[in-house]
Amino acid sequence: MLTVKVLGSGCPNCKKLEAVTRKVVADLGLQAEIVKVTDYAEIMKYPILSTPGLVVNEQVVSAGRIPSEAEIAGWLKN
């Protein structure tokens, strides 16, 4: 099962990334645990300079932007 983390303080972009990620997981029918990480100290454990961030199985795949559904799908399928 995939573990997907959305890193961010809860800003509108962070919420949008979480919503898009949940949609892609549902569309693909994947088994995935989606975790929202809002604690600043926890976010700083990852090598990102700006939020929102997306982490798949502890690998940072995106930071500072909202990737497209196609990009997210590609990361989740690998």
Would you call 36 a catalytic residue per the annotation?
A: no
pTM of the full structure: 0.95
Is there a catalytic annotation at residue 7?
no
Name the band, by pLDDT with cuts 50, 70 and 90, for residue 78.
confident
Q: Which of these is catalytic: 3, 11, 12, 35? A: 11
Q: From CA 62, how far away is CA 52, in angstroms rounded?
A: 8
Rounded mean pLDDT of 1-19? 96
Residue 52 token pair: 């929102």
Tokens of 77: 């399928």
The mean pLDDT of 54-72, rounded to a whole number, is 98
pLDDT in tens, 21-62: 999 999 999 999 999 999 999 999 999 999 999 999 999 999
Catalytic residue among 4, 7, 14, 43: 14
Question: Which residues have a Cβ under 8 Å from the Cβ of 39 and sit 6 or more positions away?
Answer: none
* 37 three-state secondary structure: strand
Task: Inform me whether the pLDDT recorded for 66 exceeds 90.
Answer: yes
